[in-house]
Amino acid sequence: MFATLRRLTIEKPYIIAGTAIGFFGIGVLAARDPIRRVFGIVDVVPPPMTYPMPQRARNPPAGYEDDE
């Protein structure tokens, strides 16, 4: 097995590099939340998607009517 890995690193380094990047990505996904907890990083509150409408009667604007 080690001979095969050694040969692949010399003949086809892109296979080994891609595999290493793939395993690194999985490791980052697995370790992201515990690392954030250790450093005390909390998730931000997402901004509201809608604006709350006031609970009163709406005053229509006046003075913008077309002259006929």
pLDDT tens per residue, range 42-62? 988 998 888 888 888 888 888
Which domain does 18 fall in, by range? 2-39
Annotate the chain with three-state secondary structure: CHHHHHHHHHHCHHHHHHHHHHHHHHHHHHHHHHHHHHHCCCCCCCCCCCCCCCCCCCCCCCCCCCCC
Query: Is 30 a member of any domain?
Result: yes
Query: Is 56 a member of any domain?
Result: no
Query: Is 63 a member of any domain?
Result: no
Average pLDDT for 30-40: 91
What domain count does the chain have? 1
Q: What is the pLDDT of residue 59?
A: 84
29 φ, ψ (degrees, to nearest 5): -65, -35
Q: What is the pLDDT of residue 21?
A: 96
Global pTM value: 0.51
Q: What is the pLDDT of residue 39?
A: 94
